[in-house]
Each structure stands twice: as structure tokens, then as C-alpha cells.
Structure 1
Amino acid sequence: MWGFPIRHPRHRQPQTNVMFLKTHKTASSTIMNILFRFAEKHNLPLALPAGQAYHLGYPHCFRAHVVEGFQSMGQSYNIMCNHMRFNLPEVQKVMPNTTTYFSILRNPVSLMESSYTYNKDFTPAFRRSKDVNEFLASPWTYYNLSERINNVHARNYMWFDFGYDNNAVDAEDYIQRVIEEIEQTFQLLLLTEYFDESMVLLKETLGWDLDDVVYFKLNSRSQETVQSMSPESKEKVKEWCSLDWKLYQHFNRSFWRRMQETIGLDKLSQEVNLLRRKQKELMELCLLDPEPIDKAKIKDKKLQPFQSGRANILGYNLKEGLSNETLRACLRLITPELQYMSYLYARQFPQKKRKSTSFPLWRR
């Protein structure tokens, strides 16, 4: 179906050609921040959405022309990480042949609950139901195939993001073919539930330093907006989103095989502990509060994250009195994706006029 890129061994030099398929509701905003910071640190051009867009043509299949500057830049981009519906031939027009492809998956049970909360107000199948348990008790009551492009959040969300039909019949030969295609295209599939372990595996795969993958959690939401799912609902997800469930099961197994073959569990434990220690030190250095806080408590309104659906998206306050260098480093870790992307867009394309999304204190 697709012409797959050549699989690359682990790079001795840090890999700077990276394509991240940013799946929805999988902690992908935190990974985007990691990639934005790496791109800025090394002055690498990003394949950013053209004009006023914040995604690469989603929910339509990706086309190269939606990347800012593609006509003149061709394959000279280093990093691509905005939301898209994956379309390999078009991505290959933008990214170099030496690009490492990776993505992240989440257990479809928790993904469904998160998607319901974030997308409740603009997904027809969710709007018609009272809560996630009512929806899952009888999904076909609320889900209409004629509205499929508006209902992508409601069924096999990851399958759709990878470029496939999220309403396809669950047939063993079809699922196996899709999995094989994904394995040939993507060098690495990470897991949301094992995020720190995933960051260790990512830095090993890309030849990066541990400091490159240290992070603060972004786009998380308050606990009171998390809906409780019944045991029946959890089992229903595995049936309703069976394509995603089988995708997740397969790459959960391969993730741990890869981990044992490339790192080993003993070294993994050491690396995870070191990552968490570095993260803790940075949080103590940068943050006024030890945990993400309610949007209403964020002092600098320019640092408020975009709010979606019924979720209360949390953010951070920085400590006062930080030195200029420390302030800039801390800001990079906490700035929401839309503000960071607007800053990088203006930096990369200073001649373009883009709707202002301020980057507070950035140039101090």
C-alpha cells in the first residue's frame, strides 16, 4: 500500500531528523514540548502548519502543501510533530529519507474516557449521551456512520490517526496487515502508561541525552473532570474500539521486547530513577507549586493552556526571582503547545504574519 522508509539502526550521533505522529489524548503534547525544545536548542527547522492552522490538515489525510514553506523548502525540514492523519507518501515529500518515525499509544479504555471529556461538546455521538457509561452501554444508539468525520473521537481514535478506517470490520488478516505496515514505517511505538520508560527508550533510539527528554506534564486535566467508568464500560471499550485494542495489545508486547533487547530492565530502572530525579530537581527550581494547578490560579494569563470540552486543563506558575537563563529554561518546560508553536513559527518565518499568541517573558 505504501512505500516504506528504510529502517535505521540506532544512531551514534544524535538523530535530528524526527517525525512524531502526535496521536490524540496520549500525553503527546508533552512529547511535542520535548521536540520543540530540541529543535530550538539545535536551530532545526520544523514542519509547521501553514498560515493560521494549528494542525496539519486534520482530520483529513495529510498533504505536504499544508506545511508552511514546503514549496521552497522541500525535504529540508528536520522535525515534524503537529497533529495529522498520517499519510506516508505525503510525509516523505517533507521529511528526509533518514528520518526516524515514532508515535505513542494509550490503553483504549482510559483513552475513551479522556476523549469523551475533551470532545463532549463537538462530537455528535458524545453530545447525544449523558456520560461515557451511557454512551458505551449502547454506542450505536448515538453513533451515526453518516457523521463519521465528526465522530472520529468516538471510535478507534488511534487507528484513525494512523491513517486507517476507524469503522473497518475487525478481521484478523486486515489487522495483521495494518500492524505490519505500521511496524515497517515506525521505528518506535511508545506507551502512555509507561511514559518515563518510554522517554528512556526514546532517548536511546535517537541517541539523545537524558536532559533532552526531561519534561513537565502538559495538557493534563483536573481530577474532578475524570469520569468513573463501570467495569462493564471498560469491557465494552475493548469491543467497541477493537481495532485500537488489538493495536495497543500488540505494541505493548513489542515495547517490552524492545526494552529488554536494547536497554535491559536493570539499566531501565536506573535510567528511569535518574530521569525522575532530574525532573524533581527542575520542578523544585522552577515551579511555585509542586503540581499542575487550576487554570484560574495561573498568574500569567499568557501561560494559560487552551481549554477543551468539559476538561479543566491545568498549568503552572513559575517562581519569582529566577535568573534570566533559568527563567528561559523553565519557561520552555511549561509553555502550552499553542503559545510555543506560535513563537517557533514567528522565529522560523519572521516574514509571515501570524495571529499573535504571546510568549511571555521569553526575551528577558
Structure 2
Amino acid sequence: MPTIPVVCTWRSHVSPWSFLAYATLFCMFFLIYFIAFAARWQVPNKAFGSFTQIDTEDDTDLVYEKKRWEQVPPPPTKDKTQSKKGGKSHGHDRDCQPHHRVVYVKVPKTGSGTVASILDRYGWSHDLTFAVPKHENNFDPPFNKSQVYRWKSFENGFDMLTNHAGYNRYDMLAMVPNATFLTTIRDPVKQFESAFTYFGYADQLGLTNEKDPMEAFLRGAEEQEYVMKLSYGQWMSRNGQIKYLGLDRKKQEMPFYIERRIKQLSHELDLVILTDYLDESLLLLRRLLCWTMDDILYISKNVRSTSYRYNVTNKVADMIRKWNSADMRLYDYFNRTLWNKVERYGSHFQKDLKEFRRRKEKLNQQCIEEMIEDPGESKRVVELIVKKENEGKCHDWILTPRQFIKMKRHRMRHLAMEIGDYPDTT
């Protein structure tokens, strides 16, 4: 038969050793592919570095972030926040030194202005340096170091970053090496109502005549009818908190990606402050940074007038939770971790909390003459009238983040000029 020589000829060219070589190459290729695939799910390891999720509109990349950014030495200037004698400092029950390198991921509409003011006041009074935006009050999300005013002038980085900046750990550590990372989140129902009011969703979509504009929006939002029509604040219209912290919108309905992002944030953030339990959170902040109790005192700012608030019914609250399900998962997780940290604080937590609130009330009585609700149609926040006899003493306590930004930018410009950087273009 004519086919027999063909078959025999083919067999004569394929020896067992050739077959083994081909099989070995195939196995090596498969092994390399498997290792590359498995690396995408690497568990973060603090001892060697961490994998940081960077979500983009097209794909998801894992960037390996070595600890080299955290090993950049601090500026050679004298650290004015350190206690001179060492040992127990600032009334703490353990030996510690105050930390002044802080990155605060200031999530919009979470009441984050109060915390930002606490950090700004501390940094200002201790002559620290700030990474500030070049021109505006906020950084464009996500944060990029090229947005920082005079960043090339400060080779060793800055001490603090406290303005609105979408979470980008890699560039943030480049600007504030060895930083303690903080953020603030809020009950998604309250945060969504605040965003709905601030960005004027009802006005943008012509819903002001509806019986309940927020309910009307949520009904249309389910079909994406209204969301796509928003020209201002669209990015905060759904799951705005977890998006600001790095989860791409395309993944906000995928439980796997949501849970993975939350775990990464739990690994990367040193403290997540809850606005709904602000005083409790600030006590944890005090211990984390080894600050004094007076360092964390505050006077609430930018409190909205009652006329600029929507009445959220139980029905609408349930709709908000469903619409912002990823934010709910984020909030529930860090709500649990907050109380775990409170438990680890020790039995004297309630005593410290009572003392902190006593001092806070005393500060408000010393500084605030009157709080005026609805001071005018052009003003959406409660106006604080400061006691004239204490204006100088209370000045720094009532400054808002918008007022601090001008002061901080002026300081950084002056410091840059001192080291010979005169152009105002970097």
C-alpha cells in the first residue's frame, strides 16, 4: 500500500528523544504561564512590599510597590514635633514620638473638612511642609505628583498632604515618604444626600418640582436615565467613596473586585476615620500619631444649614443603600474594624473620650459667640460668630481648609525661594 512508506518515514524522523524535548518545552511554557497568572493574585506582604491595585478604564494592573518609597530619609531640618527628653510624651501611656508625615485621602462629602483642618492646624503650628495643588484647592483625581506645587524643589518630599486627592498610593508616597495614611468615610446614606445636594442633581435634571427629587433620581438612575445626563458631579453619583479610594466604576457591581479592593485598603491605610463616630476615631488618631489631646480638638466647620438638607425617608434610604452597594460594603467593613481598634485601645477609652469631649466643649464655649442658621440665600453653611475678646486665640481653630490652602501655598513658595527656586512654574 502506498501509505505505509509515508507512515514509516514520518516515524523514522520522530525519535523518543525528540518527543521528550517537545514535551519539555510545552511543560516549561505552561509553567511560565501559570506563574505569571498566579502573580496577579499575590497576597500583600508587608515584609517585602505590597501589591497596589491601580484601576483604569481599560484594564487592571498590579504595580509592585517596594518599600523604597518609605525609606527616603526625612528632611535634614530639626524635627520640632519630637519631645526633647524622650520617654513618655504627650500624656501617652507608652513611649512614643509624634509622627508628622501624614497623607490624608480627603474623600469628598464625608465631612472631611473638619479632619483636614485638624491636620492643617497641627502642620502649620509645627512648621511642617505641605504638598499643595499648584493653583486650585484640590488635586484632580487620581492624584499625580506633577500636580504638586514646587514639588521638584523638595528632593526629600513633604510632611503632609491633606487636600482632596484621589487615592494613588505610589505617587503619594513619592511626595510624602514614610507617611501614615488616613482617610474618612461616612454612612453612604448621609454621604449620598450630601452629594445630591451639593452637586445640585435635582436642578441639573429638572427634578425640583418632584414630590421627592431624590426618590425620582434613584428611580431613573436604576436605568441610567439620569446619571448619564449629569454634567457636574457625575463621578460622585454612585459609590463615590470607594471610587475615590481606587475602585473603577466598571467593577463596582462585581463582589470579587469590591472585596479585593477593601482588603487592599485595609492593608494600606493606617486608619479609616468614620464621620459618624468622629470623636472615637480621633482618639484612635491621637494614639496612632502620638499627638496630644489638644492637637485633635476641633470646631465643626462647613456644617450645612437645615434648608440645604433633604429629608430622607426609610424608603429612600433603602434605595440609596442598594444604589451604593459597594460603598455599603466599604462602610460596614471599616465600621467593624473601628470598634475592634476601640476594644484594643483599652479599658480607659471611655474615660479619655469623656475628657476629650469636655475639652472640645470648653473650646467651643471660649471661641463661639453664636451659630447662625440660614445666614442668607447665598450661604449654605452655618455661620460661626467668634467672640471678639478671643479672636486672636481662636483664629487657627476656625480656619477652613480653603483658608489654610492659601497659607500653605504661601509657605511653600517662601521655602522654595529660600533654597534658590525662584520660578513660579513648578
Shorter-normalised TM-score: what interval?
0.7 to 0.9
Gaps of 5+ in 1: 298-306, 355-364
Q: Which residue of 2 aligns with 1:234?
A: 317
178-187 or 312-321: bigger deviation: 312-321
Q: Which residue of 2 aligns with 1:41?
A: 125
Matches of 1:292 and 1:217, distance apart in 2: 13
Q: Which residue of 2 aligns with 1:301?
A: none
Output the TM-score relative to the length of structure 1.
Answer: 0.83
Q: Does 1:24 align with 2:105?
A: no
| Conservation of the 8 A alpha-carbon contact between 1:125 and 1:143 | no
Q: Which residue of 2 aligns with 1:286?
A: 367
| Conservation of the 8 A alpha-carbon contact between 2:239 and 2:252 | no
Aligned ranges 1:32-181 → 2 under 5 Å: 32-50=116-134, 52-57=135-140, 60-96=141-177, 98-120=178-200, 127-130=205-208, 131-139=213-221, 140=223, 142-145=225-228, 150-181=233-264
Q: Which residue of 2 aligns with 1:304?
A: none
In the TM superposition, residue 194 of structure 1 has moved relative to its aligned partner by: 0.4
| Conservation of the 8 A alpha-carbon contact between 2:205 and 2:230 | no
| 1:244-265 superposed Cα distances (whole Å, 9 cap, x missing partner) | 111111111111111111x13x
Matches of 2:144 and 2:139, distance apart in 1: 8
**What letter matches 2:275 in structure 1?**
T
Q: Does 1:13 align with 2:97?
A: yes
How many residues matched?
328
Seen in structure 2, the aligned counterparts of structure 1 residues 5 and 39 have a Cα distance that, compared at 3 Å, is farther
**What letter matches 2:217 in structure 1?**
F
Seen in structure 2, the aligned counterparts of structure 1 residues 3 and 30 have a Cα distance that, compared at 3 Å, is farther
In the TM superposition, residue 179 of structure 1 has moved relative to its aligned partner by: 1.0
Seen in structure 2, the aligned counterparts of structure 1 residues 349 and 186 have a Cα distance that, compared at 3 Å, is same
**Structure ID, larger Rg:** 2
Give the aligned CA root-mean-square deviation in angstroms: 2.7
| Conservation of the 8 A alpha-carbon contact between 1:55 and 1:82 | yes
Matches of 1:229 and 1:353, distance apart in 2: 51
Greater per-residue strand proportion: 2
Seen in structure 2, the aligned counterparts of structure 1 residues 72 and 347 have a Cα distance that, compared at 3 Å, is closer
Residue identity over aligned pairs, in percent, reads 24
Seen in structure 2, the aligned counterparts of structure 1 residues 169 and 39 have a Cα distance that, compared at 3 Å, is closer
In the TM superposition, residue 125 of structure 1 has moved relative to its aligned partner by: 9.3
Seen in structure 2, the aligned counterparts of structure 1 residues 146 and 138 have a Cα distance that, compared at 3 Å, is closer
| Conservation of the 8 A alpha-carbon contact between 1:125 and 1:154 | no
| Conservation of the 8 A alpha-carbon contact between 1:2 and 1:88 | no
In the TM superposition, residue 3 of structure 1 has moved relative to its aligned partner by: 3.9
Output the TM-score relative to the length of structure 2.
Answer: 0.71
Matches of 2:65 and 2:327, distance apart in 1: 22
Q: Does 1:196 align with 2:274?
A: no
In the TM superposition, residue 292 of structure 1 has moved relative to its aligned partner by: 5.7
**What letter matches 2:191 in structure 1?**
L
